Amino acid sequence: MTRKYFGTDGIRGTVGQAPITPDFVLRLAHAVGRVLRRTESRPTVLIGKDTRISGYMLESALESGFNSAGVDVVLLGPLPTPGVAYLTRAQRASLGVVISASHNAYPDNGIKFFSAKGTKLDDAWELAVEAALEEPPVWADSPSLGKARRLDDAAGRYIEFCKSTFANDLTLKGLKIVVDGAHGAAYHIAPLVFHELGAEVIAIGCSPDGLNINHEVGATHPDALIKAVRANKAHYGIALDGDADRLQMVDADGRLFNGDEVLFLMVNERLARGEKVPGTVGTLMTNMAVEVALKKKGVEFVRAKVGDRYVLEELDKRGWL
């Protein structure tokens, strides 16, 4: 069945044009809230965002829509998309919501959702929300309205989680790393993570003003990273995009590593440390050389449709998460 509003990664468009308008976003949140209340009497939703100026407006619209459906809201402020997914699961929330248009320029914005497990939701859920959007709203009365609060230490919690994924016997001491935050959601997080792991950090793209997200910096504009790595004689450079769910890496010479190379290096490092890697999921676009090289190492390789949602579905289905 064709979806009217949802695309491959939530709902996205130009701010001020349908569907990214405050009235529609309020209705969307109300519809999502009604779907949630079919299985929960008092759902709780976490809302995070990137640094676009329109995020304030859309955050308020989402908050009102959810509260009007009897859903409690926890506001996280600017936070990477993976951080929202993590906290949704860690806080035992019913749903996670991200306000972002990822690597797009600031005039665009979007809404995407995560399940209580921190994973993308399936087509059936999106169709249920679209069906609820076509129904008249059912506004909660005063005793049933949802409440809203802020989680003031959301960024700190995610910083600690990121550090916890780094092996305790490893350190970044002695390394100089350029970190490009794309003036986006990780501007106050990524530099601290690498600094606290021991690296000397040169931060660029970490001064958001609401209008400069992804502008000539970040993963979609790696020239800024390459220039900074060479100028500072850094060992490595890491550039994120606006919502920090993708990255580009360069070495000391400014050479870009593509995603296939990064995937292989990650698996190879885990194997070298004696860790078990039951399998790896790539996409239809993953280079065949990666598949061949991994199979030679005894690692099963599976292809999913293009999109992180489908990669996660395969990982979850096979028990590889």
pLDDT band at 200 (very low <50, low <70, confident <90, very high): very high
Q: Which of the 8 DSSP states describes residue 282? A: E
Number of domains in the chain: 3
50-76: pLDDT as tens digits: 999 999 999 999 999 999 999 999 999
Say how far apart CA 115 and CA 45 lie, in whole Å. Answer: 10
> Which residue(s) pair with 72 in the sheet?
44
3-state secondary structure of 279: strand
> Which residue(s) pair with 239 in the sheet?
180, 248
Which residue reads 């529609």 in tokens?
24
Any domain includes 62: yes
Indicate if 100 and 22 belong to the same structural domain: yes
262-283: pLDDT as tens digits: 999 999 999 998 999 999 999 9
Indicate if 237 and 283 belong to the same structural domain: no
Indicate if 203 and 223 belong to the same structural domain: yes
Any domain includes 6: no
* pLDDT at site 162: 98
pLDDT band at 9 (very low <50, low <70, confident <90, very high): confident
Domain that holds residue 303: 266-317
Indicate if 131 and 179 belong to the same structural domain: no
22-57: pLDDT as tens digits: 999 999 999 999 999 999 999 999 999 999 999 999
3-state secondary structure of 121: coil
- Phi and psi angles of residue 190, each rounded to the nearest 5 degrees, phi first: -55, -50
Say how far apart CA 56 and CA 233 lie, in whole Å. Answer: 38
Question: Residue 1: is its pLDDT beyond 80?
Answer: no
69 or 308, which is more confident: 69
Indicate if 115 and 86 belong to the same structural domain: yes
- Chain mean pLDDT for the chain: 96
Q: Which of 54, 94, 100, 102 is catalytic?
A: 102
Where helices occur in the chain by DSSP H, the ranges are 22-36, 54-68, 81-90, 123-133, 154-164, 190-196, 223-231, 259-272, 288-296, 308-317
> Which residue(s) pair with 41 in the sheet?
none
Model pTM score: 0.94
Q: Residue 219: which of 187, 185, 242 has the closest Cα?
A: 242
Indicate if 130 and 190 belong to the same structural domain: no
Question: Residue 314: is its pLDDT beyond 80?
Answer: yes
111-134: pLDDT as tens digits: 999 999 999 998 899 999 999 999
pLDDT band at 95 (very low <50, low <70, confident <90, very high): very high
Residue 68: partners with Cβ closer than 8 Å, 6 or more residues away: 26, 30, 33, 137, 139, 140, 145, 146
Calculate what percentage of the chain has a pLDDT beyond 90. 93
Question: Residue 238: is its pLDDT beyond 70?
Answer: yes
Domain with residue 304: its CATH number is 3.40.120.10
Residue 118: partners with Cβ closer than 8 Å, 6 or more residues away: 85, 86, 88, 89, 96
3-state secondary structure of 31: helix
Per the annotation, the verdict on 102 as an active-site residue is yes
Which of 156, 179, 207 is a domain's end point?
156
For range 200-224, the mean pLDDT: 98
Question: Residue 292: is its pLDDT beyond 80?
Answer: yes
Any domain includes 225: yes
